Amino acid sequence: MTGTVETALPSREVIAEVQAAGGGVFRLCYQCGKCDVVCPWNHVRTFSMRRIIREAGLGMPEIESEDLWLCTTCGTCTEACPRGVKQIELGVALRRIATEYGVFPAAVRAVPGVASSLRADGNPLSEDRGKRADWAAGLGVRPFTEGMEVLYFVGCYPSYDPRLKKVAVATARILEQAGVDFGILGTRENCCGESIRKAGNEEVYRTLARENIKTFIDHGVRRILVSSPHCYETFKKEYPEFMVHFEVVHIAPYLNTLLEEGRLRIAGTYGKKVAYHDPCYLGRHNGIYDEPRAVLGRIAGLELVEMVDCREHSLCCGGGGGGIWKDTPMSERLSNLRVKQAREAGAAVLATSCPYCITNFEESRLTLDYADVLEIKDIVEIVHEALL
């Protein structure tokens, strides 16, 4: 099999390769096309997951096509599928084959470099591993030691990205105010590996996962708190493939628990109209819809409004499935649509609880010239502001 598939007839060899890569579920598909109807990409361009599934079933996948890399793994199609085809698994399987043969279209040429950065420094941003905890300078955040209540697993973007560092700082200050005994791993923390796995590089994912698991065990970690829904998904559902189980909590429901238990009290006000965006991996993939809204609902003066596409119908920001590293034309950015929906709902603040969403929304806010009329906030930033 080469980068360009020239098979004229169904190829048993190619079908077997797709199955070996984890994509055998295509056999369940009866081509109803419901996946295409609900796919967010069809808001901005023509894209057919149904066609990709059909080509895989015939043993003729176009692994050199950019379409193979469009899926953000948002989960909308899997919820709509009447046959349980598991389109995400098929798409990832095809990307594994493309990765094996070194086939990367222009839009995803950054992916091999990302993989190299993950191997060398444990993050996708080509940042120095030694600076992973620099965001915490002067905050009194301690290294995690066995017996602490929770490990705060910061994640790559909140560790390095200037905008997302604010989320990490706000999280640490909230935890301190609530009296949570927590620590961080600092330079011992690796990327969770979720996105590079969805981008087809299983080898790098498994290396990162094994290193993280060893670190967790060596440090006596039992409970892991994360800022990213992608870390949450991976630690909760994928790391058990290595026969380990850790208690994993995302910051949004954890904040709600702290408030319910009385460990955290919000005394201030936040007099703004806020629209909450459900991240795909917090909402559709893990069913966490109510807790973030409950947190925002406890803040005096805050008016919570809903966008047209909300909860299980939330519109993907475009960052999942390795999309955060993809070169997407301005006219095709799903985040632009979401930011417009926030404005249409009358919101002054678009809130969410995912680093990828914040990154994409911040860029769209500037692109659409909304800088003076719309703020992008993680809910921990809103809570922190209301605490002061």
pLDDT at 245: 95
The answer to whether position 7 is within a domain reads no
Cβ(223)–Cβ(185) under 8 Å? no
Domain match, 177 and 236 both: yes
Give the helix ranges, DSSP H, for the chain: 12-18, 34-38, 49-57, 76-80, 87-100, 110-121, 156-160, 162-177, 194-198, 202-218, 229-233, 251-260, 290-297, 334-344, 355-367, 379-387
Domain match, 126 and 150 both: yes
**What's the pLDDT band for 284 if we cut at 50, 70, 90?**
very high
Residue 52 has pLDDT above 50, yes or no: yes
For residue 299, give the CATH number of its domain. Answer: 3.40.50
Residue 1 has pLDDT above 90, yes or no: no
- Residue 68's nearest CA partner among 203, 199, 197, 194 is 199
pLDDT at 10: 45
The answer to whether position 96 is within a domain reads yes
The answer to whether position 17 is within a domain reads yes
Domain match, 318 and 377 both: yes
pLDDT at 61: 78
The answer to whether position 2 is within a domain reads no
pLDDT at 16: 67
- The amino acid present at 264, given as its one-letter code, is L
Domain match, 230 and 275 both: no
Domain match, 99 and 120 both: no
**How does pLDDT run across 214-225, given as a tens digit for each residue?**
999 999 999 999
The answer to whether position 3 is within a domain reads no
Q: How far is CA 68 from the centre of its chain?
A: 19
Domain match, 119 and 84 both: no
The answer to whether position 215 is within a domain reads yes
Domain match, 207 and 278 both: no
**How does pLDDT run across 326-380, given as a tens digit for each residue?**
999 999 999 999 999 999 999 999 999 999 999 999 999 999 999 999 999 999 9
The answer to whether position 4 is within a domain reads no
Residue 13 has pLDDT above 60, yes or no: no
With 0-12 / 13-18 / 19 or more C-beta atoms within 10 angstroms meaning exposed / middle / buried, residue 10 is exposed
Q: CA-CA distances (angstroms) from residue 164 to 44, 151, 167, 228, 263?
A: 27, 19, 5, 11, 25
User: Distance between CA 251 and CA 226 in Å, rounded?
Assistant: 6
Q: Which of 89-98, 236-245, 272-281 has the lowest mean pLDDT?
A: 89-98
pLDDT at 373: 96
**What's the pLDDT band for 5 if we cut at 50, 70, 90?**
very low
The answer to whether position 161 is within a domain reads yes
User: Distance between CA 255 and CA 235 in Å, rounded?
Assistant: 19
Domain match, 302 and 327 both: yes
Domain match, 117 and 28 both: no
The domain in which residue 368 lies consists of 266-387
Domain match, 125 and 217 both: yes
What mean pLDDT comes out for the span 11-16?
58
**How does pLDDT run across 109-119, given as a tens digit for each residue?**
999 999 999 99
Q: What is the dihedral of CA 202, 250, 43, 199, to 10 degrees?
A: -10
Among 103, 125, 160, the domain boundary falls at 103
Domain match, 117 and 175 both: yes
Domain count of the fold of the chain: 3
User: Distance between CA 221 and CA 223 in Å, rounded?
Assistant: 6
Among 103, 130, 161, the domain boundary falls at 103
Domain match, 224 and 137 both: yes
- The amino acid present at 156, given as its one-letter code, is C
**What's the pLDDT band for 29 if we cut at 50, 70, 90?**
confident
Among 103, 130, 149, the domain boundary falls at 103
pLDDT at 12: 55
